[in-house]
């Protein structure tokens, strides 16, 4: 029986490996003689990064993980390093809006920002269906913690989404304070900070795509 499962695992893992190679080719056509970037690569990047982030959120919540904030932050950090030079690795409509509003990213037009947000929301919804399917249709609601209301949730989400977006602008956008090697760790750490600090208050979403996916 154990060996039978081994064969099944092997097949599933090989399928995952092949899909990784296919998506690698989609988001990095320049490695295969094509032109770098383009809407298809950027939209796929934002979808994929957001999908993995929201999927990790859902699996940690449904699995009642005690280290959810660290797992979610690590997921975000990995995808930032993997896709940062493809689309900028926003994976969060709030981050996209912050970068657009800063006016410091000439390549991010309002139209491209809209495309990013659309890809992020679709990624969040797809992730929600995926984690629900893994848990046989089980899911969870978006809402405040016990004894909390709109005021507490508003303060918590406002402050820590600000922290996340501010750090992104400083370490990934600014030409004076950006960090070409540690930016992913710094941004991921914001999720660890927020998740642990306000998880019991609002759930520590910090991301409209996460909130949208959970609500879907």
pLDDT of residue 41: 96
* Residue range 5-24, pLDDT digits in tens: 899 999 999 999 999 999 99
Question: 48 near 97, Cβ under 8 Å?
Answer: no
Question: 69 near 195, Cβ under 8 Å?
Answer: yes
pLDDT of residue 178: 85
pLDDT of residue 2: 66
**Weakly modelled stretches of the chain, pLDDT under 50:** none
Nearest to 58 by CA among 132, 158, 7, 152: 132
* Direct distance between the N- and C-terminal alpha carbons of the chain, in angstroms, rounded to an integer: 38
Separation of alpha carbons 148 and 146, rounded Å: 6
Here the tokens at position 4 are 């039978």
pLDDT of residue 1: 58
pLDDT of residue 216: 84
Separation of alpha carbons 188 and 58, rounded Å: 17
pLDDT of residue 34: 87
pLDDT of residue 37: 76
| Interacting residues of 137 by C-beta distance below 8 A, sequence separation 6+ | none
180 burial level (CB within 10 Å; 0-12, 13-18, 19+): exposed
pLDDT of residue 179: 86
| Contacts made by residues 131-140, CB under 8 angstroms, sequence distance 24+ | 131/54, 131/55, 131/58, 131/59, 131/62, 132/58, 134/59, 134/62, 135/62, 138/62, 139/58, 139/62, 139/214, 140/58, 140/61, 140/62, 140/214
């Amino acid at each position: 029986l154990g060996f039978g499962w081994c064969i099944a695992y092997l097949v599933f893992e090989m399928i995952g490996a092949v899909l990784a190679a296919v998506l690698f080719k989609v988001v990095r056509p320049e490695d295969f003689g094509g032109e770098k970037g383009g809407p298809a690569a950027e939209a796929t990047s934002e979808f994929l990064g957001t999908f993995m982030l929201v999927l990790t959120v859902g699996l940690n919540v449904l699995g009642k993980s005690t280290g959810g904030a660290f797992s979610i932050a690590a997921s975000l950090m990995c995808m930032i390093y993997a896709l940062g030079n493809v689309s900028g690795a926003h994976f969060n409509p709030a981050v996209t809006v912050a970068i657009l509003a800063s006016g410091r990213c000439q390549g991010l037009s309002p139209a491209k920002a809209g495309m990013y947000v659309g890809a992020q929301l679709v990624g969040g919804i797809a992730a929600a269906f995926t984690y629900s399917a893994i848990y046989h249709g089980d899911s969870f609601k978006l809402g405040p913690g016990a004894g909390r209301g709109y005021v507490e949730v508003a303060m918590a989400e406002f402050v820590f989404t600000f922290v996340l977006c501010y750090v992104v602008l400083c370490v990934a956008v600014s030409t004076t304070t950006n960090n070409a090697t540690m930016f992913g760790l710094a941004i991921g750490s914001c999720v660890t900070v927020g998740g642990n600090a306000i998880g019991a208050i609002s759930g520590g979403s910090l991301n409209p795509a996460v909130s949208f996916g959970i609500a879907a």
